[in-house]
Structure 1
Amino acid sequence: MFFKNDGFTLIEILLSIVLIAIISAAVFPVFSNVFGSLFSAGDKTKETYFAQQEIIRSMENIGASSSYVTTNSNITINLKDPDNNETTITSEAVQFSAETYFKRFGEDIPIEINYYKYSTP
């Protein structure tokens, strides 16, 4: 009389479950570190974006009469085309310098800002 072995024994099933558990325990920290790094990078990107927006908002509100203006100069550029036609471009350059702070993980981080504005009259 011959018996047909179509299935797995209980010991084979338990061994496969134990092996899967051991492999999962070894691989899980790697995946959790990767996902943690991804979320951390996303948070840093958001913080940087919000800091840039705050800097731009601060610089737009300074105004030309502010004590933050460190340079105010006129720029003249003379251009000559191949036919000797001369074009002059005059512009005003204003440089603002300021120090501001933004919060990152509850800590104030100082940032020195240099903002240049060029306008053509």
Structure 2
Amino acid sequence: MKYVMIIYGNKELWESIPAEEWQATAAAFDAFTAKHKESGELLGAFGVADAAQAKMVRTVTGAPVVTDGPYLESKEYLASWYLLDVDSEERALQLAAELPADQVEVWPILHEA
């Protein structure tokens, strides 16, 4: 069964982390990624750009309109996501607990398009 793990962040959080701590945190994420890609449970891990680089595309009177920034007005934004293929929800939750992040959302994927 496939699951997506989602991590949110915000600019204040990123800026509050000392450079040496960033290096250790990045190494922990890299180790998690390598371990679970090798096992086949992690299909991919993707970090996204800063929210300031996001674009919203809306259709207005039949024509696309592109605006800056994410649609949601929020202090936190999508920071990265991981695509899992595991045997059970329990295993997905175990992997989420192993991920070196304070908070991880775990969503079942109902179908592939």
Same fold flag (TM > 0.5): no
Q: By percentage of residues, which structure has more helix?
A: 1
> Normalization by structure 1: what TM-score?
0.25
> Normalization by structure 2: what TM-score?
0.27
Q: Which has the higher contact order (CA 8 A, sep 6+)?
A: 2
